[in-house]
Amino acid sequence: MKKDKGTRLRLLEAALEQIWKSSYSSVGIVQICNEAQTTKGSFYHFFKSKSDLAIAALDEHWNQTRSEFDRAFAPGRAPVEQIAAFCQQTIRSQHVHRQEDGCVLGCPFFTTGMESTALEESVQKAVDRIVENETAYFTRLAREIGGSRFPDELAAADGGKTMFAFVQGVLAMARVQDDVGLIERVLQPGLMRLAWL
C-alpha cells in the first residue's frame, strides 16, 4: 500500500511539474510516467485519463498553496502586513523553482488556464475554481481595506480581481523574462499602489 501511495504522489508531482514547465497539451501520459519512474499500467491504476491526473495534481498543489495563503492573509494581520507576507512567500517560492527547475515558472493554475482552448472542460473548471479561491483572498483584503478605496462589496470584488490579475501579470512577465528580480522589484510596490491609490 505504501508503494501505491508513493507511486500516486510521484505521478501527481510529475504531472504538475511537466504541465507547469511546458503546457497541458504538450505533455503526454508516457512523458509523465517516465518522469514519475512508473508505468502506464500504474498510471491507469490511479487515474482514468490525463485530465483526471491533471485535476488531481492541481488540487494537490492548491491544498499545499492554500496554507501559504492562509498564513499570509491571516485574519487580524494588518492589510500592509498581509501584502508583504504574500509577496515574500511568492518571491521565496519562485526562487526555489528557479533553483530546482532552472527557470521561473510563475503560477501553475494561471499557466494551465491560459491554454483554455486546449483544455478539457473538466480541467478548465478545476482551474477556474482554484483561481476563484485565490482571488477570494484578495477580495477579502480589499474588503478589510475598505474606506473610499473599496467602499462596498462590488468595489471590493473588483479590487480583489484587479490585485489578483496584477499578481498573475507580474508572474507571467517574470516567467517570459526568466527573471525573479522582476517579481522582487514590482510585486509588492504594485500591490500597495493598487490597494491604496
- Over residues 158-182, the mean pLDDT reads 95
The tens digit of pLDDT for each residue in 39-53 reads 999 999 999 999 999
Residue 3 predicted with pLDDT over 60: no
**Cα 129 from Cα 141, distance rounded (Å):** 19
The three grid cell numbers given for residue 130, joined into one nine-digit string: 482554484
Residue 190 predicted with pLDDT over 50: yes
**What is the percent of the chain with per-residue pLDDT over 90, rounded to a whole number?**
76
Residue 118 predicted with pLDDT over 70: no
Domains of the chain: 51-196 (1.10.357.10)
DSSP code, position 175: H
Residue 197 predicted with pLDDT over 60: no
**Cα 36 from Cα 159, distance rounded (Å):** 40
The three grid cell numbers given for residue 194, joined into one nine-digit string: 493598487
Of 111 and 96, which is predicted with more confidence? 96
**Cα 183 from Cα 175, distance rounded (Å):** 10
Q: How far is CA 64 from CA 67, 68, 90, in A?
A: 6, 7, 13
At residue 61, what is the residue type?
Answer: H
Which 3 state secondary structure label does DSSP give 78? coil
pLDDT on residue 111: 76
Residue 80 predicted with pLDDT over 90: yes
Residue 162 predicted with pLDDT over 50: yes
pLDDT on residue 54: 92
Q: Are 197 and 149 in contact (CB under 8 A)?
A: yes
**Cα 197 from Cα 190, distance rounded (Å):** 10
- Over residues 135-139, the mean pLDDT reads 97
pLDDT on residue 183: 97
The tens digit of pLDDT for each residue in 6-35 reads 999 999 999 999 988 888 888 999 999 999
pLDDT on residue 106: 87
**Cα 147 from Cα 84, distance rounded (Å):** 20
When mean pLDDT is compared across 124-128, 135-139, 164-168, 179-183, the lowest value belongs to 124-128
On the 0-12 / 13-18 / 19+ scale of CB atoms within 10 A, 23 is middle
- Over residues 72-89, the mean pLDDT reads 96
Whole-model pTM? 0.89
Neighbours of 125 (CB within 10 A): 12
pLDDT on residue 109: 82
